[in-house]
Amino acid sequence: MNPAYFEFQNAVKLLCGQDALERIPDELRHMEAEKPLLLTDAVLLRLGIVKKVHDVMQAEGCVPAALFTDIPVDSSLSVVNRIVAFYREHECDAIVAVGGGSVIDSAKGARLVLSQERDDILSISGMENLHCGRHIPFIVVPTTAGTGSECTGVAVIRNDEQAVKMEFLSPFVEPDVAVLDARMTQRLPARATASTGVDALCHAIEASTCLQSNPLSSAYSMAAIKLISTNLLRATRCGSDIDARLAMSIAATMAGIAFSNSMVGAVHAIGHALGGVCHVPHAEAMGILLPHVLNFNLPVAADGYARILPEMVGWDRAAVIPSSQRGCSLVQAVRELLIQLHECAGIPLRLLEVGVTESQLVRVAETAVNDGALIVNPRAMSVEQIVNVLREAL
């Protein structure tokens, strides 16, 4: 059945595949940008990944006006405000963000503040409440295949004072251009490859089964799930497999487009809280929580899960499973994939492995219940129910 009403937007231009990086200067020229700010983090700088981007830009006559690398793994509102000040100080006219979710979301936040001509990101918090503002050319080069942030209309940024992750939702958060180049993810360690891939899987599953799901977002979700189920283990086991790497990048972007248009659900709501309260890395939280939340949602989402199953395990395998058991089988298939990733890359399967203790669970649940992603979860969740899910995952 079609939803009574839905919206779908994706205005991001995708540069994907061979020599994608080399096309960045041309894109900047089209947007009349001459002094881009290159945003990244210290690790990527040390690994020489940023140098690749810098060099291709320089070779094509587009030298970054400034480089900002002081972005931590878990970026915060204060980091965003510092980027804004840095951008103005160096009189930049565009942003090129090279990194994972933290770098990209910080860049999105800074771009939003700059386009709204403000100083503090907190002054523009909200959902779909902003006007377009001034256009700041914005290119994103993801170095992981998971967040999908290169194509989404949301930035998730930590509020240190409140120990929560805040969501800034606006269509004007979307970058102008996203660059998917396998050279950027090739050196990603196996564990990060696996956990970020699971994050993408989580985006796709939640986007296709939450209350905001729509036919277009579901189409992106299903295609993403198919790509992930075929390529995640390959990319994790053999990092140099360019084809699998690029497939995972495409999958993450498609899952990002899906959830940007239909939101996510309880896995993300609880995952954000785990990040805010216990500093659990987002992607690892997703992998730990996913099977437990799927199991919780099963009584109301079994049909949706059944539709996903063939993409996850293949039509041949799904066809022999009775339709009444397909929802349950999806949960089992996700568990099997996570166990395989645990065995080959060491991703955590329990909250205890990432340092979460029983005493923190209530606080996590009380934070999660106020997360915007929870409102579209297919099944309502109380604090007590979230605590139960967390206990199962402990």
Within 132-189, residue ranges assigned H as helices are none
Q: State the minimum distance, in angstroms, from the CB of residue 28 to other proteins.
A: 32
Per CB under 8 A, contacts with other proteins among 263-302 are: 263
Beta strands (DSSP E) in 172-232 are: 177-180
Minimum CB separation of residue 211 from other proteins in Å reads 4
Task: Say whether residue 33 binds other proteins (CB under 8 A).
Answer: no
Contact residue for other proteins among 42, 73, 85, 127 (CB under 8 A): 127
Is residue 372 involved in binding other proteins (CB under 8 A)? Answer: yes
Q: In this complex, which beta carbon is closest to other proteins, that of residue 212 or of residue 229?
A: 212
Q: Which residue has the tokens 């994972």?
A: 100
Listed ranges 10-18, 19-27, 40-48, 125-133: which one lies at the site for other proteins (CB under 8 A):
125-133
6 binding other proteins? (CB under 8 A): yes
Count of residues touching other proteins (by CB under 8 A): 27
Q: Which of 147, 265, 268 is nearest to 197 (CA)?
A: 147
Please return the burial class of 29, using the count of CB atoms within 10 Å of its CB with bins 0-12, 13-18 and 19+: middle
b/e map of 114-132 (b: 16 or more CB within 10 Å)? bbbeeeebbebeeeeebee
Q: Is 315 in the site for other proteins (CB under 8 A)?
A: no
Query: Shortest approach of other proteins to residue 282 CB, angstroms?
Result: 17
Round to whole Å and give the CA distance between 186 and 202.
Answer: 22
> Is residue 206 close enough to count as binding other proteins by CB under 8 A?
no
Query: Which ranges of 238-281 does DSSP label H, i.e. alpha helix?
Result: 242-262, 266-278
Which of these segments, 22-30, 63-71, 183-191, 366-374, binds other proteins (CB under 8 A)? 366-374
Q: 162 burial class (0-12, 13-18, 19+ CB within 10 angstroms)? A: exposed
Residue 263: C-alpha distances to residues 101, 110, 278 (Å): 17, 22, 23
Q: List Cβ neighbours of 270 (8 Å cut-off, separation of 6 or more).
A: 285, 289, 293, 364, 365, 368, 371, 386, 389, 390
Residue 7 is a binding residue for other proteins (CB under 8 A): yes
- Mask: binding to other proteins, 375-394, rule CB under 8 A, as x and -? xx--xx--------------
Between 246 and 265, how does the x/- string for binding to other proteins read (CB under 8 A)? -----------------x--
Q: Does 156 bind other proteins (CB under 8 A)?
A: no
114 vs 210, which CB is nearer to other proteins? 210
Per CB under 8 A, the segment of 49-57, 62-70, 96-104, 370-378 that binds other proteins is: 370-378
Which secondary structure element, helix H or strand E, spans residue 58, and what is its range?
helix 49-59
Query: Could you say whether residue 5 binds other proteins (CB under 8 A)?
Result: yes
CB atoms within 10 A of CB 243: 11
Indicate if the alpha-carbon torsion angle 89, 90, 92, 97 is positive or negative.
Answer: negative
Selected from 149, 212, 221, 260, the binder of other proteins by CB under 8 A is: 212
Decide: is 132 part of the binding site for other proteins (CB under 8 A): no
Write out the residues near other proteins by the rule CB under 8 A: 3-7, 125-129, 164, 166-167, 169, 210-212, 263, 369-372, 374-376, 379-380
